[in-house]
Each structure stands twice: as C-alpha cells, then as structure tokens.
Structure 1
Amino acid sequence: MRSPDIADPAARTAEAAAVDVREVEHVYGRGQAAVTALGPVSLTVPRGAFLVLVGASGCGKSTLLRLIAGFEPPTSGSVRIGGVEPVPGRGAGVVFQQPRLFPWKSVGGNVELALRYAGVPRQERLRRVPELLERVGLHDVAGRRIWQISGGQQQRVAIARALAADNPLLLLDEPFAALDALTRERLQEDLRQVSADTGRTSVFVTHSVDEAVFLGSRVVVLTRRPGRVALDVEVGLPRTGMEPDELRALPEYASLRATIGHAVRAAA
C-alpha cells in the first residue's frame, strides 16, 4: 500500500485528526437482500473533541461506531484513527450499552484485567486500579463482585476499564440507555467530568437530544437509513466550571436542544 502523500492536504488532515471518516458507505447482505445502512458519510474529529452521534433507531449510528472501532471494514470509503486504519482492541476503548464485565471477578479485578491486556506491568497495575476506580467514583467497592453492585456502578466499571489502556480515543454506544433517569443523569455528569479531566477524544452514540447537548462539544445528526449527515453543529457551551442545572438553564442550551431536536425529527 502506498504511504499517504504528506503534501496532500487530505492526508495531512487524516494524520492530524483523532478520527477521519471519508466517503464511508456500509452495506449489510448481498444481492437483493443487501441493505445500505450508512453513507456516504465524511467526518473529521479533532483531538480532544467530544462528538455525539444522534438520530432515530436504524439510522446507522452504531454501525458508524463499529467502523471507527475497527470491528468491521466499511464497504467503501476509509476510516482512520490518528492516520492509520483502526484495529479492534487497539487505539480505542469501547463502552457498550451492556457493561460486558466478568461476573466471577471483583470490580477491581475487572479493571486490573484490562490493564493486564494492555501490557501494564503488575506493580503499575496495582497502583493504577485504585486511581481508575477513584476517577469513576468506585474506590469504595473495589473488592465487591459484579453481581453485588448496581447497574449504574457496573457501567462505571465498564468506563474505568475502557480508560485503563492509554488509548487516545473513547467510543461509547448508548452506554446509559438501560439505566433509570436519575442514574443516567449522574453518569452523564461523571462522564463529562472524566472527559474534561483526561482530554481524550470521545465519540458517543445516543437517541437523546438532551444527552447530546449536555455531553457533546459537537453534535452530528444522522438521517434515516442510509444514515447521512443531516446536521453538524459545534455546541460551544462551557465544558467546566458550571453545575449541570446551571448549564441546562442557559438560553444557549435550550436553543441548541431545540435546533438539534428539530433536525432529528426532520431526519427521521
């Protein structure tokens, strides 16, 4: 394969961006059974951004996330993470709708295992497990088994595990969808703070317009299948220094929520 031409502006953009998606289409099945789920879609995500993908069910949000994670290749077009093709398990931490934890291990054991898979030496693992659990508010349940903690706490473990490897990219596929409203709001606040603390690039999939505005530094609305970009908007709200209720009370917050909500309904 020919190396990207460094004189080519498109190649330079792909190398500089955390995520670069170019003219991507994805088709499931073959022949008469083929279904075009996505595309064409082009997106460039700068390092440190928190991109939220929002849209109706079946619009291709999760498909796009899987392509970025490298779980499957696009039918056409290209996906790059930091200028290279994505490899599953490398380059990005992934959090799913269900935590997918090991129930026979403790909370700390699940996080320690992620560090071990990342090649972190034992003594370093022992130091970092408490730090990661502290970051997601679970320092006091490290010794409990997974079945002994709540669903919200389990999702926090999944986030800590995704943060365990020093990947520059965090991918989250509707991680709070199955949780009650209060737990969901608390975890939104936690994730927003973790994002501010770590500076990692994040791509987050949701159906919720409010969640998109609260979490994102940028929101992309996808159309119904095949998913294409219907709206791409910078959020521009303060990322730190405000309480959640204060943030949601801003006129700019209400305006963005209305704009994005209208785009989601129009694109469905």
Structure 2
Amino acid sequence: MPSPNDHRTDPRDSPGGAGAAALAPAVAVREVTHRYGRGADAVTALGPLSLDIPAGEFLVLVGPSGSGKSTLLRLIAGFEHASQGDVTVHGRTPEPGRQAGVVFQQPRLFPWRTVGENISLALRYAGVPRAERSSRVEELLERVGLAGTARRRTWQISGGQQQRVAIARALAGGKDLLLLDEPFAALDALTRERLQEDLRTVSARTGITSVFVTHSVDEAVFLGTRAVVLSAGPGKVALDVPIPLPRTGDDDPDGLRGLPGYAALRAEIGAAVRDAAR
C-alpha cells in the first residue's frame, strides 16, 4: 500500500502555491479570526485561518465538534462577518443569497408548495423568465435523480428526496458556488450513501465550486477533491491535503472505495481528525 504522502502535490501546484498565483481563487479567506460574544465572555471559534479555494474545487471541511467548520461556512455564505481578517468570493465581500447556494442539515422546504414550486421560487428570485421555469425545474430534478416529482407535495416524499430537492433548489439560483453544511447527517446510512453518489456525480458534471462540512472521514474522501481538517476550537488548519481520485461523473463507488489510495487518504485524514480533537 502506498504511503498517504504519495498523494501530495508540489506546493507550487497547490491552490496557494506559486503555480496558481496568476489565478484569483473563487473563495479567499485571509487571516480570519471569528469570535462570539464580547469582552471577558468572548469565545474565539475560529482562527487565525487562511485558505484559497480555486474555482471548480470540491473542498471538504472535516474536524471535531467545535472546530469552527460551520462558522467558516457561514462566513463564506455572508451570514456572518469575520471579527478579523477578510473573506471574499470572486473578490467581493459575500452577501447572503448573492454569491452562493446553501444547503443545510434540514431541507427547509416550503411544505405548502409542491416540489416543483419550491424550485421554481428559487428560479424566480434568480431572474429566470416565467416561460422558462417549468423546463428548468424538470432539468434540475432530473439532475438530482427526481425526474417526474414536480407535482408532488414535499410531505409526500422521503427525507432523502427532500434533501435532493434542497440541492436542486440551491443549484437553481445559477450560482457557481455551493455550500453544504452536513446535509446528510440526519439520514440513514443507505440514503446517505446514495446522496453522496448523486452529489459527487453532479459536482463532476457541472464543475461547480463546492464547500462541504462533515464529521465523516469516509464522506470527506469520497466527495472531495481536497480535504481540510480543522483543529479543536479555535479552529485552525491541521491538515490540508488533495484527494486525487478519479472524478468523471460515472465512477463506480465500490471501485473508488477499493482503491489503495482511498484507504491511505482515509487513514491520513482520520489520524489528523483524532489528533485535532485532543
């Protein structure tokens, strides 16, 4: 079995290296620290931390509870602003709903609307003409494996299907950045694996830039093109490693998990997570 380090790239070719210096990252996190509370009651949740996320990358944030993974995601989404440092998306300060589609742990669908109406609403806010919305809804539902469900009520579909609708709705906005905060955490193991496969396929075929928060090392290796392990709070980068596994959109999940490189990466990232929790 090859060493986990066999998968590392030359620093000059990494997102932050000299080879990428001429390309502006899709997301830039610069010396960010974030605190909750004030004065003696202030708690530092994150940082100092710096990251570059190139366009088209699928970055997975993994680490123990309290490491600031979700905090970092909220900063990138523009839901919060860093106490110190800067976060930019395509060179601009992020604003909620403007630069990124966001998927949460719960689908947060409108139960009084049909599946199609939930997605159509996102298309409306994205400025898609009414005449085009129906075909776009069908296209998005097919993309996430839910073709033919547009007229169903959200309470008539399973939890896993609801989360697929949430992903389709996030993609409907036409943003080139997708943020996902443990979207599969509440699902059973079989549904979770199926949605991981679906998301990996969507990512490979669309090339959308993604940031995914998880506690699962296996999920991190399976989904990501790069994994960043954050240390116990305040969260800092404990490991930053590329995941150079095949990514065509038609990859066999069992075949991927059976690769020696897969096992080596899972061992390396798992060890880093355990060390980060100490």
Query: Which bin holds the TM-score, normalised by the shorter protein?
Result: over 0.9
What is aligned with 1:110? 118
What is aligned with 1:62? 70
Inter-partner Cα distance in structure 1 for 2:152 and 2:133: 18
Inter-partner Cα distance in structure 2 for 1:161 and 1:14: 33
SS at 1:189 equivalent? helix
Letter in structure 1 aligned against 2:89: I
Letter in structure 1 aligned against 2:265: L
What is aligned with 1:225? 233
- What CA deviation, in whole Å up to 9, does each residue of 1:91-129 have, x standing for no partner? 100000000000000000100000011111101112201
What is aligned with 2:183? 175
Inter-partner Cα distance in structure 2 for 1:220 and 1:148: 37
Contact 2:27 2:90 in 1 (8 A): yes
Comparing 223-232 with 12-21, greater Cα deviation is found at: 12-21
Contact 2:63 2:231 in 1 (8 A): yes
What is aligned with 2:107? 99
> Unaligned 5+ residue runs, structure 1?
1-8
Inter-partner Cα distance in structure 2 for 1:68 and 1:242: 30
What is aligned with 1:243? 252
Contact 1:14 1:83 in 2 (8 A): no
SS at 2:108 equivalent? coil
Shift of 1:88: 0.5
Inter-partner Cα distance in structure 2 for 1:103 and 1:124: 23
Shift of 1:142: 1.1
CA 1:69–1:80 in 2, change beyond 3 Å: closer, same or farther? same
Alignment length (residue pairs): 259
Letter in structure 2 aligned against 1:245: D
Contact 1:133 1:139 in 2 (8 A): yes
Inter-partner Cα distance in structure 2 for 1:182 and 1:14: 43
Inter-partner Cα distance in structure 2 for 1:181 and 1:53: 20
What is aligned with 2:152? 144
Inter-partner Cα distance in structure 2 for 1:175 and 1:62: 12
Which of 244, 253, 257 is the matching residue for 2:262? 253
In the superposition, the TM-score normalised over structure 2's length comes to 0.91
Letter in structure 1 aligned against 2:123: L
Among all aligned residue pairs of Structure 1 and Structure 2, give the percentage whose two residues are the same amino acid. Answer: 73
Letter in structure 2 aligned against 1:135: R
Shift of 1:30: 0.5
Inter-partner Cα distance in structure 2 for 1:87 and 1:36: 23
What is aligned with 1:264? 273
SS at 2:148 equivalent? helix
Contact 2:227 2:241 in 1 (8 A): yes
Shift of 1:15: 7.3
Comparing 112-121 with 236-245, greater Cα deviation is found at: 236-245
In the superposition, the TM-score normalised over structure 1's length comes to 0.94
Inter-partner Cα distance in structure 1 for 2:112 and 2:35: 38
Shift of 1:85: 0.7
Contact 1:132 1:164 in 2 (8 A): yes
Contact 1:14 1:82 in 2 (8 A): no
Inter-partner Cα distance in structure 1 for 2:24 and 2:101: 20
What is aligned with 1:131? 139
Inter-partner Cα distance in structure 1 for 2:23 and 2:140: 29
SS at 1:257 equivalent? helix
Shift of 1:13: 5.6
Shift of 1:197: 1.1
Shift of 1:242: 2.6
Contact 1:53 1:206 in 2 (8 A): yes
What is aligned with 2:39? 31
Contact 2:138 2:148 in 1 (8 A): no
SS at 1:41 equivalent? strand
> Unaligned 5+ residue runs, structure 2?
1-16
Over 6 Å off, 4+ runs = none
